[in-house]
Structure 1
Amino acid sequence: MGSAKSKSLLPSVEQFSDELWLVDGLADRTIDAYRADLINFGSWLTQHNGKTLLQVQNLDIEAWLASLLERKISARSVARYTASLRRFYQYLLTNGQVVQDPTMRLGKIKIPHRLPNTPTQDDVASLLDITDLNSHQGLRDKAMLELLYATGIRATELSDLKVEDFDFKNRVIRVCGKGNKERLVVYGEEAAFWLDLYLSRSRPALRRDYLCNHVFLSVRGKKISTGVLRLVVKKHASNKGIERPLSTHSLRHAFATHLLDAGADLRVIQELLGHACISTTQIYTFVATKRLVTLHSRFHPRNKDTAGYQAGDNLHVRFQSMNP
């Protein structure tokens, strides 16, 4: 925090940041987000009443949150600011730097329910139908996309994968997720086939003389970046004429929703995705329910539109062999 704004903040902010890193093991970007929220609040305090973060009362926080809503800041962002302040002042109270938590009486911000824009099974099938498999890049892209869809891992998690993270015999991957929390995920035969092909044919050529031990490599032989991963998804979606906006996270949504459609248990999906709280995973139940309502209203014989249900290419078959 080298800016003029940051100099007006108390050492308690940096102590709080250190706590998030040392004790909670949060990622740097998450800690930066907490710090930025406190910087914004601290700047507002200085401009409006000259108070410091240690002098704050409940009315000060309510006034700031109200000003954010007046400026048309989204409810989701305001809720995040509230969560940052709650955690910060709970830390200060625990460590004796304040005698009362000014966030105790804050009401809960209502966030509109936003469903993820999940690709259909046909969208995913089209995206994975990569025809350029004679080039090292094409084979790498095929293996990456198959693995993203087969496991639901994040782009950053796939980028960080190393050879030693794989148990190729049992098709299990040790993934380091948010907050450096490790989990085990499994992948099916389809992803295993393309991964083995990539590792034997294309990775040695991409690796060249570098000693990089990451699984997926750029054309320069270094660890592939999340930016390149996003471009890979956009390129192949464009090549297939897919109109729906797709991203690496779209495949994560597709993994969860399609598993749920195929009858998987929500707790299992939570473990595979690495969600700390089941409420985060429950968003996919709304997606699945919405899809069921649409299918029922369109294809049920007692409804007016009786065009008949044509079962598509059931990609959940890929998940039937996930258990090693």
Structure 2
Amino acid sequence: MDEFERHLGVERGLSAHTVRAYIGDVVSLLDHWCRDAEERAELDGLELAALREWLAAGHSSGASRATLARRAASARTFTAWALRAGHLRVDPGPRLAAPSRQRKLPSVLRAEQAKAAMEASGSGAEQGDPVALRDHAVVELLYATGIRVSELCGLDLDDIDHERRVIRVIGKGDKERVVPFGVPADRALGRWISAGRPALVAETSGAALFLGVRGGRLDPRAVRRVVHDAVGAVSGAADLGPHGLRHSAATHLLEGGADLRSVQELLGHATLATTQLYTHVTVERLKAIHDRTHPRS
């Protein structure tokens, strides 16, 4: 397992969260496989039947389709690595089938609701409170760029180019991309950096862009509370977190005429198939407008 963990983290460059998930799945698989045996010192007896029994046990215990799909992916990754590392003579992984992951249409804000959420956050920052200035800059930047909450919390001061209005983001798999942002986000960032951040900065702050109340790097859980508060101030808006602002930004880009490839690049999606989910969102919204407004709907 130590070898496999090094393979995931060092050779494949997966995030710490993904590595933890894969390791947990494989430990569960091996525990299930060894349960009826007094001792299994080698992996070579791991066959397709054992993988299927493990997934079936997960299904019986109520695991979701998404969880079963991830477990199957973890098992296939593990057996492929074990074959290359000489722990298996035959890789049973490619023959392991799993239920496809259900793709749910994400909840998004309408453009006017997003504007109202930004204004609600901005009104709180008018008094110049450092935390309110930070919160306003957070929601403006999340909506302006569509970056992930982990990417936002990982930003440093020198990741921002105010002159060109772009940020340098380190995404999944340590992949770097450059994302533009607009004037409102630039203004909110400027006020936070000049008037808000100096009030919270501490010896432990380092170069972190966004800080918590104790001066350390801002925690993703705090960002979720900030977004919930901003969106919750808008009447009729869905209860969204940071990922909801990401969905909203992508949807509004496509509705405004952006092409899929550009949105894929902005969001940092590895494949275009992930970005195409947002085309379904826009079609569903067009259908809703048609049903509401067309006399023959």
Settle same-fold status: TM greater than 0.5. yes
1:212/1:221 contact within 8 Å kept? no
Specify which of 102, 108, 124 is matched with residue 132 of structure 1: 124
Which residue of the partner structure matches residue 179 of structure 1? 173
- Distance, in Å, in 2 between the alignment partners of 1:19 and 1:271 is 27
Shift of residue 48 of structure 1? Answer: 3.8
Describe the SS at the equivalent of 1:55: coil
2:201/2:211 contact within 8 Å kept? yes
2:116/2:234 contact within 8 Å kept? yes
2:47/2:92 contact within 8 Å kept? yes
Which residue of the partner structure matches residue 222 of structure 2? 228
Describe the SS at the equivalent of 2:104: coil
Query: RMSD value over aligned CA atoms?
Result: 1.8
- Whichever residue aligns with residue 243 of structure 2, its letter is H
Q: What's the CA shift string for 1:79-111, capped at 9, x where partnerless?
A: 100000111111111222211111222224233
Shift of residue 124 of structure 1? Answer: 1.5
- Whichever residue aligns with residue 157 of structure 1, its letter is E
Which residue of the partner structure matches residue 78 of structure 1? 68
- Whichever residue aligns with residue 265 of structure 1, its letter is D
Q: Are the structure 2 counterparts of residues 261 and 48 from structure 1 closer, same or farther at C-alpha, using a change threshold of 3 Å?
A: farther
Task: Work out the number of aligned pairs and report it.
Answer: 291
Which stretch shifts more, 186-195 or 196-205?
Answer: 196-205
- Distance, in Å, in 2 between the alignment partners of 1:18 and 1:44 is 23
1:152/1:253 contact within 8 Å kept? yes
Which residue of the partner structure matches residue 142 of structure 1? 136
Which residue of the partner structure matches residue 123 of structure 1? 113
Specify which of 96, 99, 107 is matched with residue 97 of structure 2: 107
Which stretch shifts more, 106-115 or 255-264?
Answer: 106-115
Which residue of the partner structure matches residue 30 of structure 1? 18
Which stretch shifts more, 204-213 or 27-36?
Answer: 204-213
Specify which of 5, 23, 45 is matched with residue 55 of structure 1: 45
Q: Are the structure 2 counterparts of residues 211 and 113 from structure 1 closer, same or farther at C-alpha, using a change threshold of 3 Å?
A: closer
2:137/2:185 contact within 8 Å kept? yes
Q: Which runs of 5+ in 1 are unaligned?
A: 1-12, 304-324
1:165/1:173 contact within 8 Å kept? yes
- Distance, in Å, in 2 between the alignment partners of 1:284 and 1:240 is 23
Which residue of the partner structure matches residue 82 of structure 2? 92
Which stretch shifts more, 101-110 or 252-261?
Answer: 101-110
- Distance, in Å, in 2 between the alignment partners of 1:248 and 1:94 is 39
Q: Which runs of 5+ in 2 are unaligned?
A: none
Specify which of 243, 248, 256 is matched with residue 262 of structure 1: 256
Which residue of the partner structure matches residue 183 of structure 2? 189
Aligned pairs for 1:302-317 (under 5 A) are 302-303=296-297
Describe the SS at the equivalent of 1:175: strand
Q: Are the structure 2 counterparts of residues 48 and 123 from structure 1 closer, same or farther at C-alpha, using a change threshold of 3 Å?
A: farther
2:68/2:98 contact within 8 Å kept? no
- Whichever residue aligns with residue 44 of structure 2, its letter is L
Q: Are the structure 2 counterparts of residues 290 and 132 from structure 1 closer, same or farther at C-alpha, using a change threshold of 3 Å?
A: same
- Distance, in Å, in 2 between the alignment partners of 1:164 and 1:224 is 16
TM (norm. structure 1) is 0.84
Shift of residue 221 of structure 1? Answer: 2.2
Q: Check if 1:69 corresponds to 2:44.
A: no
Q: Check if 1:19 corresponds to 2:7.
A: yes
% identical equivalent positions: 37
Which stretch shifts more, 140-149 or 66-75?
Answer: 66-75
- Whichever residue aligns with residue 80 of structure 1, its letter is R
2:118/2:136 contact within 8 Å kept? yes
Shift of residue 247 of structure 1? Answer: 0.5
Describe the SS at the equivalent of 2:54: helix
- Distance, in Å, in 2 between the alignment partners of 1:36 and 1:208 is 36
TM (norm. structure 2) is 0.92
